[in-house]
Copies of this chain bind each other. A is one copy, B any other.
Amino acid sequence: MNVWTLALLLAAQDRPAAPPVSPEVHADRKVTFRLRAPQAQKVVLNGEWGGGPREMAKDDQGVWSITVGPLEPDLWGYNFTQDGVVLTDPLNSALKPMRSPRTSVVEVPGEPPRLHEFQNVPHGTVRLHDYESTALGRRRPLRVYTPPGYDRDPNVRYPVLYLFHGSGDTEATWTAFGRAHLIADNLIAQGKAKPMILVMPDGHAVVGPEAREKNVPGFLKDLLDDVLPFVEKNYRTQADREHRGIVGLSMGGGQSLTGGLTHLETFAWVGGFSSAIRDPETTVAAALADPAATNARLKLLWFACGKDDRLVEGGKELSEALKKRGIKHEFRITDGNHSWPVWRKYLGEFLPLLFVEP
């Protein structure tokens, strides 16, 4: 037995009979957070629900706690700052998948349940893959959602939405934190969205100092050369442009709008959520050059941004460039900021628009 194992076993034995619970979600949607830290001088709770950091209080067992809320029914990220050190909640197995992991997750259920919640409906499956990217010369992860019933009838083929995450995220974030699979399950059960496959690749094709210039082109090359062929080989897809959509959030929205509008031979349904899109006259010049051809090929161009999100300016700029050429699109400026509650709602609005004639 090594020192590490021994330390864990001793820690487990020393654990008191009733270890603290964190987070504890109460019926009134207030939430109590707890951290055992007898030696700490100061512990602060940081939460995505806004209002800034909150100091926690220590009891005589050395457990720090605070109760906040009621919080809106949603998934919220949070962490602690213990004496200046940021840490996730050691009592909570739910972590937000991130490039720089630092966020625990609490889910506050709604009554009735919200669109992103697990409900008593038929469920699809999230599937994990790794593939060798010829475009990037390395192995890459990939998540694929198949809709309910996918395994039942080997003759049915499905349309595909390529769904991209933001710069802080990984290929796991759209399911683990965004709940894209449950949003799709619920919309399909309600008859509001077509059964479809969701493909969630890793958005970080080029990292480090070169990322700013090279990530979007590297990502799109990998998408077209490797991800699409992998998906179309391994899944029963409707493999034509009229059954392919492309959308993403933030960095991924820049990727989806750029990739979609410059590859209308591949994608007919294009979207962007709170998109990091700059200089549309250059980045989507191909689509702007021939408005009639672009309008003829686009089944949908839909993008949205929260009014409190500084990226709303990029959306306005793109919308203006499209308007000037008479290219059909919908640009929605909504309530909200640059955050997942907004993106879950956008996905709930976007999926029903796909693969249907208006």
Chain A residues within CB distance 8 Å of chain B: 1-5, 7-9, 12, 17-18, 37, 39-40, 46-53, 77, 82-88, 90-93, 95, 97-102, 118, 120, 123, 125-130, 132, 139, 151, 154, 167-168, 170, 175, 208-209, 234-235, 308-310, 337-339
Contact = CB atoms under 8 A, between A and B. Distances in A.
A4 to B, nearest CB: 5
B139 A129 contact: no
A221 to B, nearest CB: 21
A8 B130 CA distance: 29
A-side binding surface: helix, strand, loop or mixed? loop
Given A5-B338, A50-B2, A83-B85, A118 B130 contact: yes
Contact of A93 (B101, B139, B175, B234): B101
B129 A125 contact: yes
Contact of A18 (B49, B52, B209, B309): B209
Given A2-B50, A5-B338, A90-B101, 6 more contacts: A1-B309, A3-B52, A83-B85, A125-B127, A126-B128, A154-B154
Contacts of A167: 12
Nearest to A128: B126
Across the A-B interface, give the 4 residue pairs with the lowest CB-CB distance, nearest first: A2-B50, A126-B128, A85-B85, A1-B337
B127 A126 contact: yes
Contacts of A308: 1
A95 B93 CA distance: 11
